[in-house]
A = this chain, B = another copy of it.
Amino acid sequence: MSDERVVVELFFDIGSPYSYLAATQMADLSERTGAEVRWRPFLLGGVFKATGNEMPARVPAKARWMVADLHDWASLYEVPFVFPTALFPKNTLLAQRALTAAPAPAVPMFALALFGAFWVEGRDPSDSAVVRACADAVGLDGAAILAASGEPEIKAQLRATTEDAIARGAFGAPTFFVGDRMFWGNDRIGLIEALLAPDAR
């Protein structure tokens, strides 16, 4: 018998509201299934460009429905959610690079701080002061994280993570992998649980 835990990879972008919702559920998913969640910041804009996919908000009727839908999920999850109408959509390149520069064990808390800044408090994730403050708030060295974000190896690492997701079939966010099984969307967490813990349902 192996002691290795099943790994659920979570590819996410701070600019994606469904990524925020999914991120709030990862501790529970881990607890219910025993799986380890590996948080992998990627660049959703790069995924859209490579796959020909587009923001769901491109269709006006869908954009109107999405706002209600996001609030429904937030209510179901009992997490706060305020659509940052004046800010959305935002370029998340800096935020995703900063996440890439953070040490792996700190990524979940740092990501949740950035998600909360954008999707609850309406703070701009493309503003380096916001990124720095979120890093500092979770015990990281925000100034060092910002400096590292500009380094070629961090930029290359973010590109590589994005390309890894695309190569494995991703076209949106959040995207989960359990081995080579891909699940797209906050609304697929239930399917992941059904796969990992079928008897718990």
Q: Could you pull out 30 A-B pairs where Cβ atoms are within 8 angstroms?
A: A51-B59, A51-B60, A51-B61, A51-B62, A52-B58, A52-B59, A52-B60, A53-B59, A53-B61, A53-B62, A61-B166, A61-B169, A61-B170, A61-B171, A62-B184, A64-B169, A65-B169, A65-B171, A65-B182, A65-B184, A68-B182, A69-B184, A69-B188, A72-B195, A73-B191, A76-B191, A76-B194, A187-B187, A187-B188, A190-B190
With a cutoff of 8 Å between Cβ atoms, the chain B residues found around residue A60 in the complex are 51-52
Is A59's CB under 8 angstroms from B191's CB? Answer: no
Partner of A72, one of B53, B64, B76, B191: B191
CB distance from A40 to the nearest CB of B (A): 17
**Proximity bits, A56-98, B CB within 8 Å = 1, else 0:** 0011111011001100110010000000000000000000000
